[in-house]
């Protein structure tokens, strides 16, 4: 049993992570600001699954509230922190950059400082596959340099990794960053393709298919993501010998970065066909060029994750889509 802070607990991955931790007997404090980036009711509905459970308590708090964050850490004395809260979304960052500075940069410093001063044993935090940006070599490996982000969102996630390394190096704070690859599943986000496509197809409305359907994404089912999050949180990094100057994540600090992806990229058109099959309806497609800030393909090399924590995501897209569609219809009483 451990006393664990899960930030973003009313979010998609955060709710699933908190649920799994409670199931195994940990004490969980959930933090979320319940903002309106997408409909707050969905966040409240996720939170309702956690509230009332033994071992769970909730704090409504913004990451950029430094005094509030410090009080929270002083009160609860967390053993570990799983930091999943952030301003999400590539496209939103094109028009609302300040939200990313506040939550993803200022907020992350506040979490690092609180972990440092309260001597938290391990900080695990969400990075993103978007840090690979303009990289052309696939599959994406944590050993690759990631110096060319193509969105502000991606730049803030890369900044988080650099900031975490600084604290690992200077203050011996163990940190682990997790580069998530296109997460989907029950209770997912309405701004993601899976939800938007499903909603439009059921309503008989056309869907926007960018890059004329030639996009590839390493769609990763949420249960696989959560398994990776908890296994890495349980595996506290130690100081190590630098392996290679060419390895972007080699360091002597107690610092790790892992990809968590399905390791099986799926073309956007195949996803749409899989959704059509699960829904029993055909989609009307509006074929469009690539959007600014997007990348044509994501594909995770997960060798390091398997080596260090013994886990490889494995849920086939067909199985995951069926589970999402079943939940979506149930949630919307369709």
d(Cα 26, Cα 18) in Å, to the nearest integer?
9
> Which of 153, 167, 184, 328 is the catalytic position?
153
Contact by Cβ (8 Å): 112, 163? yes
CA pair distance 2, 4, nearest whole angstrom: 6
User: Any idea what DSSP says for residue 140?
Assistant: B
- Cβ(157)–Cβ(239) below 8 Å: no
Any idea what the Cα angle at residue 235 is, between residues 158 and 161, rounded to 5°? 10
For strands 80-83 and 3-7, give the pairing: parallel
Structure tokens belonging to residue 8 = 């973003």
Query: Distance between CA atoms of 126 and 183, rounded to whole angstroms?
Result: 12
* The two three-digit tokens of residue 217, written as one number: 């994404």
Cα gap 2→79, rounded to integer Å: 6
DSSP letters for 44-103:
HHHHHHHTTSTTEEEEE--TT-HHHHHHHHHHH--SEEEE------TTGGGT-HHHHIII
Catalytic annotation present for 184: no
Six token digits for residue 200: 């439009």
Instruction: Work out the widest C-alpha separation in the chain, in whole angstroms.
Output: 57
List active site positions: 153
């Amino acid at each position: 049993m451990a006393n664990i802070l899960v930030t973003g607990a009313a979010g998609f991955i955060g709710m699933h992570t908190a649920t799994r931790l409670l199931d195994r007997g940990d004490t969980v404090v959930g933090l979320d600001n319940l903002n309106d980036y997408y409909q707050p009711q969905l966040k409240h509905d996720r939170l309702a699954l956690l509230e009332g459970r033994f071992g769970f308590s909730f704090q409504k708090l913004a990451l950029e509230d430094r005094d509030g964050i410090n009080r929270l850490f002083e009160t609860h004395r967390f053993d570990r922190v799983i930091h999943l809260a952030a301003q999400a979304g590539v496209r939103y960052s094109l028009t609302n950059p300040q939200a990313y500075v506040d939550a993803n940069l200022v907020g992350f410093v506040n979490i690092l400082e609180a972990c440092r001063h309260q001597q938290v044993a391990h900080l695990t935090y969400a990075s993103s596959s978007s840090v690979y940006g303009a990289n052309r070599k696939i599959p994406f490996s944590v050993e690759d340099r990631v110096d060319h982000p193509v969105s502000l969102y991606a730049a803030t996630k890369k900044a988080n990794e650099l900031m975490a390394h600084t604290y690992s190096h200077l203050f011996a704070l163990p940190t682990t960053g997790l580069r998530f690859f296109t997460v989907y599943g029950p209770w997912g986000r309405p701004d993601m393709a899976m939800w938007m496509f499903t909603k439009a197809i059921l309503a008989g409305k056309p869907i926007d298919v960018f890059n004329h359907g030639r996009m590839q994404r390493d769609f990763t089912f949420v249960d696989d993501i959560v398994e990776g999050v908890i296994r890495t949180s349980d595996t506290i990094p130690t100081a190590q010998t630098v392996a290679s100057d060419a390895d972007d994540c080699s360091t002597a600090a107690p610092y790790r970065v892992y990809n968590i992806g399905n390791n099986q990229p799926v073309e956007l058109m195949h996803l749409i066909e899989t959704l059509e099959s699960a829904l029993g309806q055909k989609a009307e497609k509006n074929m469009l060029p690539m959007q600014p800030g997007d990348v044509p393909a994501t594909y995770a090399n997960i060798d390091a994750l398997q080596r260090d924590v013994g886990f490889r995501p494995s849920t086939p897209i067909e199985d995951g889509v069926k589970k999402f569609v079943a939940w979506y219809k149930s949630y919307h009483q369709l």
